[in-house]
Structure 1
Amino acid sequence: MTDTDTDTDTGTVRGAPAARRRGERPAKVLRMSVELPLWRALTGYRILTLLYALFLFALAYRRYDHPLGAAAYMGALTLWMALTWRRTVSAERCTRQFLAADLAFAVGGILLTPLVDSHARIMGGGPTLPSIWTAGAVLGFAIKGGWRWAAVASSFVAVANLVERQVPARDTVHNVVLVWVASVGIGYVVEVARSSERTLARALQIEAATRERERLARDIHDSVLQVLAMVQRRGNEIGGEAADLGRMAGEQEVALRTLVAGGLLPHAGPPGGAATAVPHQAGDAPPGAASGSGPCDVRALLAPFAGRGVTFSEPGAPVELPAAAAAELAAAVSAALDNVRVHAGEGARAWILVEDEPEAVLVTVRDDGPGIAEGRLADAEREGRLGVALSIRGRLRELGGSARWVSVPGQGTEVELTVPKQGASVASEGTRRGKAGA
């Protein structure tokens, strides 16, 4: 992994110090949490319901049998809220001990109501001292521990309400069931959301690891494997001790291909990515490869490919892409031409056509070779030949683009490479940072 990877569990950027050392501004990554808005909503709910409970108490102050006792509880509840309101802004601050104490304040206020209020008001449906603030204590359990915690906490509140009312009146039962169902439902939703969040975080980690493996496999395919193949071929041509060296290089090439394919392809992109490329003698880097992050004329990178057997056609105006995206596109074209040389033979002709469309850059590589037999691409992928899967299709996928093959046996092959201009800007920046931190 690169040092700009994101910790999807905490929402932090592990590569921030390294980015600062390179003089770059660390990427801003938002915390992935479905719970944070719920905690903030709970904090707001507790504050608003406290104000509502104080308002009800002020209206009925003179009707209490013991108004000073009721005022003492309301004062204690207000002080408790003033000291602890920040405890419900996050899961880390909202501890089990706090939740238990908060629930004790709610249940205590309900049980204290018959001691300070008249029996007639209670039987007439008068509110308890904490009123609907009680639900906040139960919701805290639901968000913190899920539906099981919510069920236990709401049961305590239900028993306290029945004891306070002394008889299971309809409105009391209605309120108790409403709190119980709402808290259990919210707790269940929180558990499902938390599980989905963990699954998403794991998927993002796997995707990031897969993309890094793809990048490394492309580098291996475009460098080490090609050198080993060249050594094998030249050794067989020279003979003698060089032939033994070539044989060993061939064995190492097969082993390395198997290793790369076995560690990468199970996690690679959609099925169908395959490889027809076999070792080639072309340079690893595309001719004229650009560096930096500014715009680059794709024509300047593809023009050096023109030569004996290769015809290059370009528009009259510059065809600009971010430098990193243009270099990746040129490398994909190089891999396509290598396939032509290897599979169509040295005498085959190839044509490169560059088209500058409003939303994308389109490069077509066509040859007059024998074409690709049906199923050959899939077979090559299983064999560990990654020229198409990584050097071509993988590069285009990283840029948000696509690669499409049109081939009829006996009539040549056409490879259509499409790079969206808008997506390439973001993708090339990520590629540049990833390579800088590798």
Structure 2
Amino acid sequence: MSRKDPTAPLWRAAVLLRVITLVFAAAVVGTHHGEYASTALAWTTVGAMAAWTAVTSWYYLRPDPAAWFTGVDLAVCCAIMALSRFVLTEAQLEVQSVPLVPTVWVTAAVAVGAVRGGPVLGTVYGGVISVCNYVVRGYVDVDLTRDMVLLVGVGFVLGLAARTSRRSAERLERALRVEAATAERERLARSIHDGVLQVLARVGKRGRELGGEAEELASLAARQEIALRALVSAAPLDSGADEVDLRGPLQVLATDRVQVSVPATPVVLPGETAAELGDLAREALANVERHAGGDARAWVLLEDLGGEVVLSVRDDGVGIAAERLAAAEAQGRMGVARSIRGRAEALGGTAALDTAPNEGTEWEVRVPRRTGKRGSR
């Protein structure tokens, strides 16, 4: 088995269970030797069980066994159980004191199904084996029903354990990736602080002292300094994660003209939702840069209300007249109609615009929280 597979110990345990139960089944046949309707077929069945045990043991100890093979395994076990109709006498089939030839050997099929497919598949496999037991015996009673409860219960519990192991391993791997990214970011932050940030700060200070064209360079250097500080201080993102802290994509938008305010605790959302909201904020800020005026400032505010997330982007620019906005949408200019409202609606939320001439512009986007836990990574 692959050492990276968190269920590897469970696969080995299932293989060991099959070997042990094979020995037990052979001992039972030996105990009832000469009592069967066909003793030769009984030992032939044991031989088939031994051969299948060897095949499955080899296969299940390989990395990532396929789900289809567990289905074949279940079918083979049911077929071997059916052979008991020809091995046992009618009297033996009617009493529980003489077990079917495979006895508990078939529980291994339930175990591998549970390990491979989780609690649902484990429960299904346990039910199939139980139904086959009823059919071979030809009746239903309390003892057979007790066996069914045990088989279904084992399949469910073992499947639950396998699923929990996989999820725990995924969380650990994700945490290790974030830890490594954080360490690398801190190393880069120290290097940048000792070099690039100090140079940008020096250029900004000196440019303001010189004035003229140098002052414009100083302004650009100051913006880049702020953006770089925000970038190295933002929480690292795990691109392979299903959930993302939205604060990171927003914090990197901060400049000397854009102020970003986010909660102190993580705002965890599905990765796709976080990416869309990040793009929406960038589009709104791009509109500020293009239309609000050269001296306009902007503020980005993120609020986590538990059931929904509110993202606000406000500026103190020239604002937008109502007729201009309606004309832009009618003419098919999609920056507002699609990039902002469209993104919000695609996420099941709303985007409200509050603007007036010379009174700035404010977008308030509300998106329902469908997954992700408030205040946790």
TM beyond 0.5:
yes
Q: What TM-score comes out, normalization by structure 2 length? A: 0.57
Contact kept, 8 Å, 1:225 with 1:253, in 2: the verdict is no
Contact kept, 8 Å, 1:233 with 1:246, in 2: the verdict is no
Q: Distance in 2 between matches of 1:253 and 1:207?
A: 30
Equivalence for 2:118: 146
Unpaired runs of 5+ residues, structure 1, are: 1-9, 12-30, 269-438
Identity %: 32
Contact kept, 8 Å, 2:118 with 2:163, in 1: the verdict is yes
Equivalence for 2:230: 261
Equivalence for 2:152: 180
Unpaired runs of 5+ residues, structure 2, are: 238-377
Q: Which amino acid aligns with 1:114?
A: R
| Pairing of 1:223-262 with structure 2 (within 5 A) | 223-236=195-208, 239=210, 244-245=213-214, 248-249=217-218, 251-262=220-231
Q: Distance in 1 between matches of 2:4 and 2:225?
A: 38
SS in 2 for 1:124: coil
| Pairing of 1:195-214 with structure 2 (within 5 A) | 195-214=167-186
Contact kept, 8 Å, 1:35 with 1:190, in 2: the verdict is yes
Contact kept, 8 Å, 1:229 with 1:250, in 2: the verdict is no
**Alpha carbon RMSD of aligned pairs, Å?**
2.6
Q: Distance in 2 between matches of 1:62 and 1:42?
A: 32
1:21-52 superposed Cα distances (whole Å, 9 cap, x missing partner): xxxxxxxxxx4542111111111111111111
1:86 shift after superposition: 1.5
Greater than 3 Å deviation, 4+ residue runs: 231-237, 243-247
Contact kept, 8 Å, 1:146 with 1:184, in 2: the verdict is yes
Contact kept, 8 Å, 1:165 with 1:172, in 2: the verdict is no
Q: Distance in 1 between matches of 2:63 and 2:150?
A: 25
Aligned residues: 237
1:56 shift after superposition: 1.3
| Pairing of 1:265-414 with structure 2 (within 5 A) | 265-267=234-236
Equivalence for 2:104: 132
Q: Distance in 2 between matches of 1:183 and 1:123?
A: 27
SS in 2 for 1:63: coil
1:79 corresponds, among 23, 35, 51, to: 51
Q: Which amino acid aligns with 1:118?
A: T
Q: Distance in 1 between matches of 2:81 and 2:56?
A: 20
Q: Which has the higher contact order (CA 8 A, sep 6+)?
A: 1
1:55–1:260 Cα change, 3 Å = farther
1:117 shift after superposition: 0.9
Q: Which amino acid aligns with 1:116?
A: V
Equivalence for 1:155: 127
Kindly indicate whether residue 91 of structure 2 is the aligned counterpart of residue 120 of structure 1.
yes
1:97–1:35 Cα change, 3 Å = same
1:247–1:77 Cα change, 3 Å = same
Kindly indicate whether residue 39 of structure 2 is the aligned counterpart of residue 98 of structure 1.
no
Q: Distance in 1 between matches of 2:105 and 2:222?
A: 71
Q: Distance in 1 between matches of 2:189 and 2:236?
A: 13
Q: Which amino acid aligns with 2:235?
A: P
Q: Which amino acid aligns with 2:227?
A: T
Q: Distance in 2 between matches of 1:185 and 1:100?
A: 19
Q: Distance in 2 between matches of 1:264 and 1:235?
A: 26
Q: What TM-score comes out, normalization by structure 1 length? A: 0.50
